[in-house]
Structure formats: C-alpha cells, structure tokens
C-alpha cells in the first residue's frame, strides 16, 4: 500500500498565528516523513496547548509510523474527543483504520471528514479508493465527479469518472465522459500507449452497449492513424465487431487472426461461430461444414495443432478414426509426453474412447513388430514404441485397469529404465490402485533420476503427503526452499503455495491431527485475503497508467476469487473439522493434553524467545544508530504465531460460528457445489438455522437429486424438525414446512423412503452406505445394518476403494465386531491396494518408503485419489 498523504492544512481557529505556522510545518514534516522532527514539533505545540485535538492526532499518527502503535492510537482517539468537528482528526482516524484494514469504518471516517471539508482533494481521493475496494459504486461516482470538478485538467480524473460509471453499471454516462474528454485532447503524441489504452477502453464500452457500428468506426479511424498501438487488440476487436454486425468481412478478420496466431483455440471458435457453428453444441447438420473448415485450416497451416485437435471434437465414427490415428501417430513419433492429457477430454464419449484405445493398440503392435530383429521395416525411431507404451499405460490407469497399466509400464521401463516419466506414471497408477506407499516409492525413484527437476521433486513430496509421510515430504521440499527459513513449510507458506498447504492440511487430517490441518486451511484463507488486499494498490495505479481493460478484468476476477477450487476445498475441509469438534469436544481435549509442553520444553522455549528478543533489540538499536528511526508504516504488523501447533485453535468455544463464517465466503460464489451445500447444511442444522439448512438441501437436490449424501441429510432434517418441542413460528415455519414438503412429502415415512432409495440404487456401494447410515439413524438393529453393509461386497455392486474405506469407518463408528472381516474381504478384492492391510503390515510398508513406521493411522483415513 502506498504511503498515506498528509492531511491538508486546517483553517485552525484555536492556535495563534505563530503556533498555527508550527502546525503547518508539522504537516509538511509528516508529508516528507521527517518523523523525528515532526514529533518534536508536535511536542512543542502540545507543551503550550495540551488539549489541541489536531496536534494530538498528528502526533499519534507519527508514533504509529515509528512503531509505537498502541500509544499512537490512544493519542489519536484522545485528539478525536477534543475536536470532533475537525476534518484533520477524522482524516487521521481514517488513516489509522485503513492501516488496520478496517475499511468499512475508515470509509465512515472519511465521510465524516468530508462533512467539515467537502472539497478536500486528499480525502476525496482516499475515499474514492476505499469505495472502489468495497464496491460502493454509487458513492464512487459522486466522489470522482467532485474530484473532476476540482481538477478538470488532470487526465486520469476523467478516466476515473468514466470507470466509476462503468462499474456502477451506467455505460451511457461512461461513454459520454470518454467522448467529452477525447474532444478536449490536443496534440497527443504519436504512439502514446496510455491514449491507446483509453481508446480501446472506449471501444469496449461501446461494444458492451451493443453499439457495434460506432465502435467499429472509432476502431478503424484510430487504427489507421496509429493512435491505437496494440495491433493484436485491433484485430480481435475488429473480428468481434464485424461478427456482431453480420458483416461479410468478419470471416476475413477471423482468418487474419488465425494466421496471426494459428494455435489460439478461441480464434477458431470465433471463426466457426461467425458461420453459426457452436463447437459446444454441434449438430448433424453443421458437423460436415465444421470439419471441412478445420481441414482447410490444417492444410493451410500444417504446423498448427489447434485445427487438428478441434477436428477430433467435431468428428465421429470413421472420420474420427482416421483423424485420431493420424493425430496419435504424429504425436507419438514426436514423443510428446502430454499426449494423454491432451486427449483425455475426448474420453467423455465412450465411442471415441474405444476408437482411441483400438488405434493406440494397433500402433503398439505395429511398432513392436518393427522392433523385432527379423523385421525388414524400420520406419520409426525406437522411442516411438516407448511413448506408445507410455500412452497406453496412462490410458489403462485412467480407466481403472490397474494391472494392465502396471504391466505396460514394466515393459516400458525395461525398454528405457532411465525415463522419469515412466516412474511418475507408475506412481500415479499405484496411487489409483490404492497403494499409496508404493506410489510414493515409485515417485522417489523418478526423482532420483533427475534430482534437479523441481517438478519431479514437488510431485515426490506430494505423494509422500498422500501417504501420510509429512516429515519425509518436507525433507524433499526443503531441497529448494530457503535454508534460513524456520521450516520448508513456513517458506512455502510465505510464497503463498496453496497447493502445498491443501495437501499438507489433508495429510494432517488423515493422520488424525485436525489442529495442524486447521492451521494449513486457514493459511489458505490468508493467501486469498492477501489477494484481496493486493488489489487496493491498483485502484489508483491502473487509472494513472490507463491500463483500464486489464483493471476491469482484475476487479471481476477479484469478485470471484474465492470460488477457486483451492479456497472452496479449504473452507469445506475446515468446516468439517469444526463440526467434528462441536460433535465431539473430547477431540480438542485430547489434542490439548497431548500437546501440553513439559517444564523442560517451556524453559527451552522461554530461553529461545528471550535470546531472539535480545537479538532483535540489538538489531533495532543498530538500525537506529545508523539510519535514524525506521518508518514502520500504518499497516498493522503481522502478529507472531503463538500457536504453531493449533492447540489453542481447536479449543475455541465457537466452532460452528467459525465454520459458518468460512462457508459464508463461498456459498454465494459456488451455490451449486454439492460439497459446499452439505457443509452449509451440517453447520446450519447444528445452529438450528432450519431455513438455511433446507435451502442448502434444495440447492444440492437441484444438482444431484440422487446423491447419497443428500439422502442422509434429508432424513436428518425431517427427524430434526419433527422432534422440535414446538413448531417453528411464523413467518419461518410455513416456509420451512413448504420447502421440506417439496423435498420429501410428509405422507412418505422415513423407513419407506429409505427402502425405496436402496431398491433404486442397489448396485451402488455409496448408496448402500447411505441407506445403512439412515437405518442406524432410524434405530435399526446393528446386525441388520451390518448385513446391509456387507451387501456392498456383492459382485454386481460398484465398490470403490474410497467407499470401502468409508464403510470400514462407519463399522468402527457403530462398534461392529465385523470390521476386520470387511477389511479382509476388501483386501482380497483390491489386490493391488495396501490401504486395507493391518497396522503391522502398514508399518513395514511405511519403513520401506522412508518413514519411521511409528504412529500408523487407521487406513480408513487414507485418501486414494484427488
């Protein structure tokens, strides 16, 4: 955040002329960051006038900059009480609140300051930045208009007003402001980038208004005069505008873009859309035309990959077979490792998946025949056969054919034992098969082949985390993190690596350490909070530099930033932990008892803290002696983490409130994510927020009405509402009853509802588990629930490793004596998996993988895929 500007000179009515001059010097000294002189000047004034509010505030502001925050804030508050009608006092108070990131209150203080000095440019500017940051666009328009009236000759004031109207949804006014401003410009230098960006922004406004003709005219005039310097932007705007006008020239415009960048998929989509062909909804009528267009581009641009890849999306049947064979063989000859990732999206069509498999097998047989000593045909390089095996291994692994994938990889490794990609693929196949320790071991073998490759090292650390080997994973991460960092994890957190934080949080949760998991999930939240804070600097910078289109896109991205899968995952996972802590407070008690440090540990920590404090004092003293007092700024320094293990965190008294606060930040951004809906429900039902709970289930039902998790929660909600001592009062009661009735009619008993659900989904292990949970909730005998769960082992039932682990966890939850029986059956069914092994067997596997073999957790907490 840039340094705050000094409050403007007051029209002081209290101080005599001599002291008023001293106060003016105080403001200038603060503006120049002459903090020591400023403090002395303030003391001189306060010696004569100890109750002068403005001087008290200014001294407090200087003290905050010098690092004495508590003393400075107290002085500011004292000064505020002495003079509540001073715009300087309110301005200073706003600066303090802004430094504390209390933006709502800071804006209120700026508003108060403007009551007493409505034309103050500094206050108006700061208020406008806060209004943008808080998305108060109505007030932003007023502030920007006031600033423009004061200083109409300043270029970016006009731009700022246009942007304010744009953000407020008034595109017509934004257009008028830009037109008026452009008419006033004279002698604009050639190739002025800022003016070019302004013109492109103007064209964007016209395009959003639907005034394509006017936008195209503005674009053509300024493109010919070279006022717009971004040639690619000119071509893109021109193609879009001509398409919207249904112009015959649009096709040539899109063709020019494709020739400019032959591998940009959006250009081909634009060209086809101009021909009224939507690639996302191809019909049998326009399919031949689309294929013909893409073939012509492939012939015209032989080095471009995009038209050939898009043709695979469009083609079907024999045409697809011919195209994919050519595409596959060309990529395998080149040895492209990412070929499977490229084609994976086509597997959504079972027919295309079958054709790809047959084609790849045909190529493998051909290349294998060419490798035989008696073969006279040697048309391809030996590596072509290797990459074919690599592709087929990925193919079989993706389709859960684990044995085929591993046997194919063994053949590939025998062919070339020094290729890291083969061991990485083997690790992925073993992970999907349920052998997490074997996967971590294979990934470590890949790392050993290229120790300098950060990507492979990162994957090795990730796979160790998946296997629960947290310390061993950090050893790998430590090879590339700062050596002077407290730990590799701390350095990765400083670098905002949310990928690492998510993986370690999940690993700690599976290892039975929810305190450490919560610490990682909340670190992810802080990263996204920092993303939000970082945009503040751009509210002024982007307007001054006229990077307007990128700025508007930035604001739109920021509004949706917390819909990112990483934040959603962290919020949902943390909410689940909070719910577990609420349901079973003994978890927190156990963590506290295990985490309580001994007297020796306490003394060692106290000694280390004292030594560190002494070193810091010495360092500060050296800095002060060498360069004078350091400006600490107005922002609150990051507090030291006094709870690195999360022991105090899990001991809080309001776990549900914390969970609700987290989920509130994502529920509105991803309303149709079933995991978010379920998390919201789990929290709401415990907080007795029944309307919020039924709304969450209604959203989940609109996404997947047959989801097993939904089935469990519908029964839970019906039981919770029916067991209330008194009906929910109006107006919530009738709304709740109507919504619940829409989900599950009152005429249907819960037993009947559960039985019908099981009959409809008798071949789904997840549905069987859901039905068993409901049966237990309806107080069915334990032996009946056990018998129901064991039907998941039937040959006709689709049972995944993850669901099997959940069933084991539920059997343990109901204290079933048949846990080991079910585990043994799963161990026999999933031959390659190790997650169903006994504790002693897991300890041996852990040691082979580089772990200590201690503290082996129950295998139902292991995550196989993700």
Three-state DSSP at 263 gives coil
Closest CA to 86 of 111, 113, 62, 124: 113
Residue 1 has pLDDT above 50, yes or no: no
pLDDT band, very low/low/confident/very high, at 370 (cuts 50, 70, 90)? confident
Residue 616 has pLDDT above 70, yes or no: no
At residue 866, the pLDDT reads: 41
The model's pLDDT over 417-475, given as tens digits with 9 standing for 90+, comes to 999 999 999 999 999 999 999 999 999 999 999 888 999 999 999 999 999 999 999 99
The model's pLDDT over 652-711, given as tens digits with 9 standing for 90+, comes to 999 999 999 999 999 999 999 999 999 999 999 999 999 999 999 999 999 999 999 999
The model's pLDDT over 570-589, given as tens digits with 9 standing for 90+, comes to 999 999 999 999 999 999 99
Give the torsion sign (CA, 537, 630, 8, 108).
Answer: positive
- What is the overall mean pLDDT for the chain? 89
- Cα–Cα dist 482/863, whole Å: 30
**From the DSSP assignment, how many helices (H) and strands (E) are in the chain?**
45, 0
At residue 377, the pLDDT reads: 61
At residue 639, the pLDDT reads: 80
pLDDT band, very low/low/confident/very high, at 353 (cuts 50, 70, 90)? very high
Q: If you search the block for the tokens 């204290």, which residue do you land on?
A: 815
The model's pLDDT over 113-164, given as tens digits with 9 standing for 90+, comes to 999 988 899 999 999 999 999 999 999 999 999 999 999 988 889 999 999 9
Task: Give the rounded percent of residues in the chain with a pLDDT score beyond 70.
Answer: 92
CATH number of 17-210: 1.25.40.1040
The model's pLDDT over 781-797, given as tens digits with 9 standing for 90+, comes to 999 999 999 999 999 99
Name the CA radius of gyration of the chain, rounded.
33
At residue 568, the pLDDT reads: 96
- Cα–Cα dist 496/505, whole Å: 14
pLDDT band, very low/low/confident/very high, at 599 (cuts 50, 70, 90)? very low
At residue 607, the pLDDT reads: 47
Residue 623 has pLDDT above 80, yes or no: no
Give the torsion sign (CA, 550, 551, 556, 558).
Answer: positive
Closest CA to 418 of 373, 448, 394: 448
ω into 280 cis (within 30 of 0): no
Give the torsion sign (CA, 467, 468, 472, 474).
Answer: positive
Q: If you search the block for the tokens 């914390």, which residue do you land on?
A: 658
Question: Per-residue pLDDT averaged across 622-647, rounded?
Answer: 74
CB 633 within 8 A of CB 65: yes
Residue 627 has pLDDT above 60, yes or no: no
CB 792 within 8 A of CB 768: yes
The structure tokens listed for 557 are: 């991205």
The model's pLDDT over 266-287, given as tens digits with 9 standing for 90+, comes to 999 999 999 999 998 899 999 9
Residue 109 has pLDDT above 70, yes or no: yes
Q: If you search the block for the tokens 């503290």, which residue do you land on?
A: 855
At residue 379, the pLDDT reads: 57
Question: Per-residue pLDDT averaged across 630-640, rounded?
Answer: 81
The answer for 630, left when phi > 0, alpha when psi is -120 to 50, beta otherwise, is: beta
At residue 849, the pLDDT reads: 79
At residue 791, the pLDDT reads: 94
Task: Give the rounded percent of residues in the chain with a pLDDT score beyond 90.
Answer: 75
Question: Per-residue pLDDT averaged across 743-763, rounded?
Answer: 92
Residue 67 has pLDDT above 50, yes or no: yes
The model's pLDDT over 487-501, given as tens digits with 9 standing for 90+, comes to 899 999 999 999 999
Question: Per-residue pLDDT averaged across 741-745, rounded?
Answer: 90
DSSP assignments along 543-607, one per residue? HHHT-HHHHHHHHHHHHTGGGSHHHHHHHHHHHHHHHHHHH-THHHHHHHHHHPPPHHHHHHHHH
The model's pLDDT over 171-224, given as tens digits with 9 standing for 90+, comes to 999 999 999 999 888 888 888 999 999 999 999 999 999 999 999 999 999 999
The structure tokens listed for 677 are: 């809906």
The model's pLDDT over 409-431, given as tens digits with 9 standing for 90+, comes to 999 999 999 999 999 999 999 99
Residue 40 has pLDDT above 70, yes or no: yes
Indicate the pTM of the whole model: 0.90
């Amino acid at each position: 955040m840039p340094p705050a500007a000094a409050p403007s000179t007051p029209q002081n009515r209290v101080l005599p002329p001599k002291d008023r001059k001293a106060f003016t010097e105080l403001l200038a000294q603060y503006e120049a960051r002459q903090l020591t002189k400023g403090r002395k000047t303030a003391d001189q004034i306060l010696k004569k006038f100890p109750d002068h509010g403005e001087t008290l505030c200014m001294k407090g502001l200087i003290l905050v900059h010098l690092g004495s925050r508590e003393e400075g804030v107290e002085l500011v508050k004292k000064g505020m009480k002495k003079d509540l009608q001073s715009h300087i006092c309110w301005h200073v108070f706003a600066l303090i609140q802004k430094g504390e990131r209390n933006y709502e209150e800071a804006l209120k203080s700026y508003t108060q300051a403007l009551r007493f000095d409505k034309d103050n440019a500094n206050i108006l500017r700061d208020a406008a930045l806060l209004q943008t940051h808080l998305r108060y666009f109505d007030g932003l328009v007023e502030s920007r208009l006031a600033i423009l009236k004061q200083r109409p000759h300043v270029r970016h004031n006009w731009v700022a007003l246009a942007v304010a109207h744009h953000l407020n949804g008034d595109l017509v006014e934004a257009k008028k402001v830009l037109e008026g401003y452009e008419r006033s410009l004279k002698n604009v230098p050639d190739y002025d980038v800022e003016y070019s960006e302004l013109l492109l922004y103007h064209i964007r406004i016209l395009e959003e208004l639907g005034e394509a003709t006017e936008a195209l005219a503005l674009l053509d005039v300024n493109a010919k005069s070279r006022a717009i310097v971004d040639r690619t932007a000119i071509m893109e705007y021109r193609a879009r505008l001509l398409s919207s006008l249904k112009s015959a020239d649009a096709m040539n415009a899109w063709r020019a873009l494709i020739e400019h960048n032959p591998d940009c998929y959006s250009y081909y989509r634009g060209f086809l859309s101009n021909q009224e062909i939507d690639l996302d909804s191809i019909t049998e009528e326009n399919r031949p035309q689309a294929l013909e267009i893409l073939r012509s581009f492939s012939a015209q641009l032989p080095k471009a990959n995009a038209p050939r890849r898009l043709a695979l999306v469009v083609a079907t049947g024999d045409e697809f077979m011919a195209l994919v064979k050519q595409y596959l063989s060309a990529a395998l000859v080149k040895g492209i490792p990412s070929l499977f990732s490229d084609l994976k999206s086509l597997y959504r069509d079972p027919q295309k998946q079958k054709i790809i498999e047959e084609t790849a097998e045909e190529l493998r047989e051909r290349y294998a025949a060419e490798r035989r000593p008696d073969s006279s045909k040697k048309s391809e390089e030996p590596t072509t056969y290797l990459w074919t095996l690599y592709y087929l291994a990925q193919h079989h692994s993706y389709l859960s054919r684990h044995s085929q994938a591993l046997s194919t990889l063994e053949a590939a490794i025998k062919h070339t034992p020094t290729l890291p990609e083969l061991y990485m693929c083997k690790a992925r196949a073993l992970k999907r098969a349920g052998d997490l320790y074997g996967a971590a071991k294979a990934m470590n073998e890949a790392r050993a082949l290229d120790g300098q490759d950060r990507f492979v090292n990162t994957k090795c650390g990730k796979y160790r985390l998946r296997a629960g080997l947290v310390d061993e994973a950090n050893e790998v991460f430590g090879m590339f993190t700062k050596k002077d960092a407290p730990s590799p994890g701390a350095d990765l957190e400083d670098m905002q690596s949310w990928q690492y934080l998510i993986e370690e949080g999940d690993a700690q949760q599976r290892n039975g350490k929810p305190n450490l998991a919560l610490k990682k999930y909340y670190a992810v939240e802080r990263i996204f909070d920092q993303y939000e804070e970082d945009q503040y600097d751009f509210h002024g910078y982007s307007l001054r530099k006229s990077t307007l289109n990128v700025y508007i896109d930035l604001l739109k991205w920021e509004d949706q930033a917390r819909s990112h899968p990483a934040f959603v995952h962290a919020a949902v996972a943390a909410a689940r932990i909070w719910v577990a802590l609420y349901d079973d407070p003994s978890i927190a008690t156990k963590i506290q008892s295990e985490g309580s440090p001994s007297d020796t540990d306490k003394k060692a920590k106290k000694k280390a803290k004292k030594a560190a404090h002494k070193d810091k004092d010495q360092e500060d003293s050296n800095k002060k002696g060498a360069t004078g007092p350091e400006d600490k700024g107005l922002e609150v320094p990051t507090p030291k983490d006094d709870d690195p293990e999360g022991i105090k965190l899990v001991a809080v008294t309001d776990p549900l409130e914390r969970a609700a606060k987290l989920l509130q930040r994502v529920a509105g951004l991803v309303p149709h994510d079933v995991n978010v809906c379920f998390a919201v429900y789990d929290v709401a039902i415990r907080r007795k927020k029944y309307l919020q709970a039924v709304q969450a289930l209604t959203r989940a039902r609109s996404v997947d009405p047959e989801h097993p998790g939904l089935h469990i929660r519908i029964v839970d909600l019906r039981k919770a509402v029916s067991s209330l001592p008194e009906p929910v009062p109006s107006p919530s009661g009738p709304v709740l009853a109507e919504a619940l009735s829409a989900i599950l009619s009152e005429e249907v008993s819960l037993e009947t509802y559960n039985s019908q659900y099981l009959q409809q989904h008798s071949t789904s292990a997840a549905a069987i588990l859901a039905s068993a949970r409901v049966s237990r909730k309806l107080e069915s005998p334990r032996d009946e629930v056990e018998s129901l769960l064991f039907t998941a082992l039937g040959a006709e039932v689709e049972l995944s490793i993850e669901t099997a682990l959940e069933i084991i966890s539920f059997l343990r939850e109901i204290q079933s004596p048949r846990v080991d029986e079910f585990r043994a059956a799963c161990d026999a069914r999933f031959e390659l998996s190790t997650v169903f092994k006994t504790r002693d067997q897991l300890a041996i596997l852990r040691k082979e993988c580089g772990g200590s073999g201690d503290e082996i957790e129950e295998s139902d907490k292991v995550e196989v895929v993700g």
